[in-house]
Amino acid sequence: MRLTAFLGGLALLLNKYQTHLEGYIPRVEEQVCCGRFTTSRCSFSGAGDTRTIPFHFSIARLPRHTQTAPALPMAATTSPSSFSLIRLHPLSSVPSSLRRCRRTISTSRFRAMAPIVASIDNTREEEIVVVGAGIAGLATALSLHRLGVGSVVLEQGESLRAGGTSLTLFKNGWRVLDSIGVADELRAQFLQIQGLVMRADDGRELRSFVFEEEVPGQEVRAVERRVLLETLASRLPPNTISFSSRLKSIRKDGNHGSLLELEDGGRIRAKIVIGCDGVRSPVAKWMGFSEPKYVGHCAFRGLGIYPGGHPYKAKVNYIYGRGLRAGFVPVSPTKIYWFICFNRTSPGPRISDPSVLKQEALNLVRSWPMELLDVMQNTPDDSVIKTPLVDRWLWPGLTPSASSNGVVVVGDAWHPMTPNLGQGACCALEDSVVLAKKLAAAIRGGQDSVDAAMQDYNQERWARIFPLTARSNLVGSLLQWDNPLVCAFRNNIMVPKLVSLGPFLEHTNFECEMLEPLASG
């Protein structure tokens, strides 16, 4: 890239001063790097002429995803318009940080021109910027795309996130995936779960359900997070996702929207910013949201691998102990997702060695049913993760709105919730399609229409999200009981006689119309 930038700047300078430099040969004598600037010392020597004409110029390095200027030949016929991003300034206007970094360079006795500095203005203009290429971000971008609205997705990683294990999607999540045209591709890869079995930690069965009998029309599948992200991304137009784009700051930019500054020095001015950047969202923090609250539980998760196929039925298996619960569910004929949730007053130190994590998880359930232990033993060490469980309750009147000044948050960035109802990803998918439909209908009406659409999104989604967040937290607290008398009541009365699956899964009812694909060329 440094050579590309140098050749481009040199070509422009040659064009500007061609009448003074005819017959001279350019030579690079030195390059000095300082942060995102590259300073070059060059000279021109004429045939049979011992004099040299020195000059200096520096070029600010664009973010990786915007490095599009081609290397041009150093010809006097190059048009300056080929480098619309390059502007010439007097030497005194060079950033002070660059002036401090420059080495002292001796000058020639003959100076035919004053020193010239070229810099690149790397602020780009975008209509809609989605921050984060997770489930919420990609689903939002795809929903907008199917409605004829383009966007740019900023992802801080160098590629889609391959981490994580699996997640369970219920009927409401699948309705959204149907509406954006990716559900059938995913259904072909993952097993449909037929029922649910609940057991005590000694292996005794407490209750079992068949989904079709209890909740007709329910659809449950465990989906690999990596595959879901790749499938969503594959349906977006090329170059929609801008990788290695970590957000550094965001601020209001007058009447022009928001100015996003990236860690690599890039700047983007966007009319609409959609924060889909996860639980620790910088966008949500800028909007005034508090940090998510730790709920007193942590979870181990992993993905068991059976190259020759596993022997387990397509059912969700839950196992309950004292202050400890676990579960596993087949994902595909060769993979099984498992989790362990345990009480802890604080998340504890971060452990980076996956083999230590796996052993710690096994130690928690060493006397539990053999099926669970078998799945865990067949899990590669590097697929085991440990996470503290957190949530954020959106108290009315105390919590900021989901939108402000053209900025809106979606999914975990807005409403992180515990996984006890299996609704984190499902609600993020719901958010994405609801917001996309409202924005697509309002975007031609100007900023006032967009602001009204965002507020409408906030009110509609809050009425659904707040109760689910609270309910998920309450269910987790009940299931994590460690009092022996309370656990005996749960295992002998509550689960066998009081639990009814239909009312428990009523929250998975969500209607979602198909988003019509764009008409082909």
Q: How confident is the prediction for the chain on average, in pLDDT? A: 82
Question: Does residue 137 have a pLDDT over 90?
Answer: yes
Q: Which amino acid is at 459?
A: Q
The residue written with tokens 């599948």 in the block is 221
pLDDT in tens, 253-306: 888 799 999 999 999 999 999 999 999 999 999 999 999 999 999 999 999 999
DSSP 172-189: HHHHHHHHTT-HHHHHTT
Structure tokens at 457: 């999104």
Residues contacting residue 222 through CB under 8 Å, at least 6 positions apart: 166, 167, 168, 169, 190, 191, 193, 329, 330, 331, 337
Strands 335-343, 385-391: pairing kind: unpaired
Residues contacting residue 196 through CB under 8 Å, at least 6 positions apart: 208, 209, 211, 315, 316, 317, 318, 501
Structure tokens at 79: 């048009």
Residue 162 binned pLDDT confidence (cut-offs 50, 70, 90): confident
DSSP 144-169: HHHTT---EEE-SSSSS-----EEEE
Residue 189, CA distances (Å) to 55, 363, 508 in order? 62, 33, 22
Helix (H, G, I), strand (E, B) or coil at 479: helix
The residue written with tokens 């710690």 in the block is 360
How far apart are alpha carbons 128 and 447 in whole angstroms?
A: 12
The residues facing 116 across adjacent strands are 90
- Which whole number is the average pLDDT over 113-125? 55
**Cα 461 from chain centroid (whole Å):** 20
pLDDT in tens, 5-51: 444 444 444 444 444 444 445 454 444 444 444 444 444 444 444 44
Q: Residue 147 has what pLDDT?
A: 95
